Structure 1
Amino acid sequence: MTGGGSILVRARSDADDRLLEADEPLATLQLRCGGQIPGSIAVPELLALARKSRHYGLRLARAIQAQDGEELITAWVEVQPAEDGSGGCRIAIANWQTSLLRAEDIAAHAERRAIIDRHLAELTVRLDARQRILVVESSAPELADLAARMQAGRGRYWTDFVEIAGSAHRQPLHWRLLDGAFLQLPGSDRNWRASLIPLGWPDAGSAGFELNLVAEEPPPEASAPARSAQRPAAAIGREVAPVLRQPIARIIANAETIRTRLAGPLADEYSDYAADIASAGQHLLALLDDLSDLEVVEADDFSTSPDKIDLADVAQRAAGILGVRAQERNIRVDLPDSDESVPAIGEFRRVLQILLNLLGNAIRYAPEDSQVWVRAEQMDGRARIVVADQGKGLSEEDQAVIFNKFERLGRSGDGGSGLGLYISRRLARAMRGELSVESAPGQGARFILELPTEG
């Protein structure tokens, strides 16, 4: 690989530009962007590069940007056609870096996503300002009947002709709640996503909308209606969360634009109000992620995919992802040596999720200008990783309840949901491991993740 430094991530796509497999952290980014594995590549710039490489049969490389609603990711990507004749591509990514997302980053990402959706759309509808049908175009044979019925129904709401996953609502429904919604279309066995692009200013006398329907890979489990019947909570993780994520991200972007006075001069108190709005939006996004994870780990059929991993390496990666956050609070993270290795058995993605939670908590609650230690070791035939901070510590009573669901130990205003440690312990136990805490008031806290060393 040239120009990008050491390779951090490898992935593979097929002839339909579906991501078949991916290392972390690309796998997590794919899911946070609303995709699946396997599923259509959900990172717009990566999708465009893979499609171009496959189409021209060339090895391509360039820097890309992506965002997941909270962080901006930059990376060097190299894509080349697979040599096995599958028609797909091999993907290698290096120099993966994250930083806090700015308002202008969100706006640029939305514009890029709109371009990609226009290109992928198999049915496009021009709507008036009230989302009523004006003109319909379709390139998919399976949607020919639907397109004809929609065209014959000009003047009616477009939602009269589709089924919105997880929602029984019909018009009027605000366009921001429909943008990104998952749909079922008559005559098609595939899942679809609605992409609504405002033409003009939608909230102040819009010229209308462009509706693009983009095919999505069906989830690996049952269809959305079946999942809702089996587990009512699925409406949060699978259906409500994707619908809410994009409008919340836009609220954050607009609030940040106001806070930073990019739209013009503003009194200090109103800038402070905008900062509160942006902070509340970030809290909502984090809560949606936690509720989605909660749905997964509490499912009767939940299981992990354990493999051979290196706990020291996972710790290094978690610290890299949270490096900006630690620097903002001037907290030094003391990590295992780069050549240290502690083999374990666990699912890489889930172990990384646990360590991001533990390390993120330590950075959030430890005093500024302090230190956080991360140690990886083997003890009594088990692999262990310890995250220790210099915080105020926990009493025995707090230690007894800290892993309970929605337990926040009386904290308020810190953006936490009280689900992170509960979910982390469920994940650890699903991998035949354990998550525990050792602490005393005034002596900081030591969170210990244990995993087996043999399958």
Structure 2
Amino acid sequence: MSSASIISARARTDADNRLIEAEEPLASFHMRAGGEIPGAIVTPALLDLVCKARQTGKRLSRAIRAQDSVEQISAWAEVVPGKAGTIITISTWEAEDIPITAADEERRGHLALVRHLSGLTARLDVEQKLLTVDWTAADLDALGEEMMLGVGQPWTNFASPAGYSHEQPLHWRLLDGALVSVPDSKREWAAQLVPNGRAEPGSEGFELYLVPDRPLEERITKQSRKPERSAGIGRDIAPVLRQPVSRIIANAETIRTQLAGPLADEYSNYASDIASAGEHLLALIDDLTTLEMVEDEEFSPAPDNIDLADVARRAVGILGVRAKERGIQLDAPKDDESVPAVGEFRRTLQVLLNLIGNAIRYSPEGGQIWVRVEEENGRARAVVADQGEGLDDDQQSRVFAKFERLGRKGDGGSGLGLYISRRLARAMKGDLTVESAKGQGARFILEIPADPDADRA
């Protein structure tokens, strides 16, 4: 929501171009951006104006724009050079909350899933050195003990990223998603790095999560055990693609945030577009990797006893902010509702996130989406209903096809979400279907086996 206002502030710098006095709101913005008073000016556009005013000895003024993790501001800055520094006058200060985008919500949803699935978590300092370690996976006991004894060392000393020969630690964006070597585990593990810090990602350290490619074997029933399959194109190519794409994103973010020095707004915007395109490519790589997995004849999710109502509520919670941004109301199952089912938790959540995310994307602003759960004849169902344009008979026959986007352009989708979701549902001995009519919205129905052993009392 906008919090635009017009305010004036005065500030003063010393001979070393350090900010030594500042009035509100400049002072708060400077501190949130990682600065100190007294301390270096951390807003590149303002620093550039101060330096030029001192070099020329002339009064200079210009419009400046900047943002931190909370606000984006625009203002008119005037700098008057003096013998011992400069006097800064800020006028027409306009501050606006940074909007939460769909991409931000997708990242939040992804992070929630990562935290749920991780077998080991650790807190790292700004140099990616271990501060604390905790783990729940039995096959990570040896690694966890080693990390505990190695607090203060880089985490990569213990879980080495596969295929990275550069000096460690690398930039966190290059390590995020990398496969790591865990000698005492038969599973493959991927590192997920979450940067902390309002001024700059990673300026307050990181959270490290190790996420497995599958549950422990003892959780898989004899019927679902499959022999080891050879590495396919997704396993081979995805890590190779992630490295250069992550490097592109890291460099683009450095340019966008002007950490390498001031530059014109249009170039900062170009860099933002490059970073967004890179994030889209990473999402596409993930989709293609998942596509290969679900199309493998030997793929079989690990059956588990879950509460479908609870999974649905979690999916609604993850996507709640994205819906709110478009004024869409999500109607989730009630807290006291419970529908015991048999399915893999993370795959069921993945399907529901896709269905609800699609409903938000294609529903009218100010609309409503209903998520209902029920159990009938030994089947557990979750229904996602929206008020969108709906689908005619021809569109319904194509909506689950691979790479099918029904003529949509520019929404950033790969056309794989519903195809993968149906494959996952059927792999869990269920199905995913749609009921719709043009102009009357759509109802997507996820069906999986109900838990026959659940207490129905």
- Give how far 1:177 is off: 12
Residue correspondence of structure 1 range 353-392 to structure 2 within 5 A: 353-392=350-389
- Evaluate the alpha carbon distance shift between residue 367 and residue 304 of structure 1 in structure 2; reply closer, same or farther with a 3 A threshold: same
Aligned match of 2:305: 308
- What's the CA shift for 1:409? 1.0
Which residue does the alignment assign to 1:119?
154
1:417 — aligned with what?
A: 414
C-alpha spacing 1:254/1:336, structure 2 compared with 1 (3 Å): same
Match of 2:237 in 1: 236
1:293 corresponds in structure 2 to 290
> What amino acid is aligned across from residue 232 of structure 1 in structure 2?
I
Q: How far 1:249 sits from its partner (Å)?
A: 4.1
Bigger radius of gyration among the two:
2
Letter in 1 for 2:394: E
How many angstroms does 1:376 deviate by? 0.8
1:3-37 C-alpha deviation (Å, 9 max, x unpaired): xxxxxxxxxxxxxxxxxxxxx98783169xxxx96
Conserved in 2, the CA contact under 8 Å of 1:228 and 1:234? no
What one-letter code is carried by the residue in structure 2 that aligns with 1:243? Answer: Q
- Tell me the amino acid that sits aligned with residue 155 of structure 2: L
- Go from structure 1 to structure 2 and tell me whether the alpha carbon gap of 1:252 and 1:451 turns closer, same or farther (over 3 Å shift): farther
After superposition, residues 12-411 of structure 1 pair within 5 angstroms as 28-29=113-114, 41=121, 44=124, 48=130, 50-51=132-133, 119-122=154-157, 164=163, 179-180=174-175, 230-237=231-238, 239-244=239-244, 246-251=246-251, 253-254=253-254, 256-257=256-257, 264=262, 266-267=264-265, 269-270=266-267, 272-411=269-408
Superposition deviation, residue 232 in structure 1: 3.2
In the alignment, is the contact (CA less than 8 A) between 1:228 and 1:235 conserved in 2?
A: no
| Inter-partner Cα distance in structure 1 for 2:212 and 2:385 | 42
Q: Structure 1 vs Structure 2: percent identity of aligned residues?
A: 51
Deviation, structure 1 residue 381: 2.6
Question: In the alignment, residue 415 of structure 2 is paired with which amino acid?
Answer: G
In structure 2, what residue type is equivalent to 1:240? Answer: V
Mapped to 2, the partners of 1:361 and 1:251 lie a distance apart of 31
Give me the whole-angstrom Cα distance separating, in 2, the residues matched to 1:364 and 1:117.
45
Alpha-carbon separation, structure 1, partners of 2:249 and 2:151? 19
TM-score (norm 2): 0.54
Coordinate RMSD, CA, aligned: 4.8
Q: Structure 1 unaligned runs (5+)? A: 1-23, 55-78, 90-114, 124-139, 144-161, 195-215, 222-226
One-letter identity of the residue aligned with 1:257: T
Q: Give the equivalent residue in structure 2 for 1:442.
A: 439
The TM-score with structure 1 as length reference comes to 0.54
Which residue does 2:448 correspond to in 1?
Answer: 451
Alpha-carbon distance, 1:247 to partner:
2.2
Q: Quote the offset at 1:390 in angstroms.
A: 1.0
The code of the aligned residue for 1:425 comes to: R
Report how many aligned residue pairs link the two structures.
299
Q: 1:429 to 1:326 in 2, by over 3 A?
A: same
Residue 154 of structure 2: SS of its match in structure 1? Answer: helix
2: CA distance, partners of 1:385 / 1:193: 30
Given that 1:255 and 1:278 are in contact with CA atoms closer than 8 Å, whether structure 2 keeps it comes out as no
Change (3 A) 1:302 1:317: same
Deviation at 1:387, TM superposition (A): 0.6
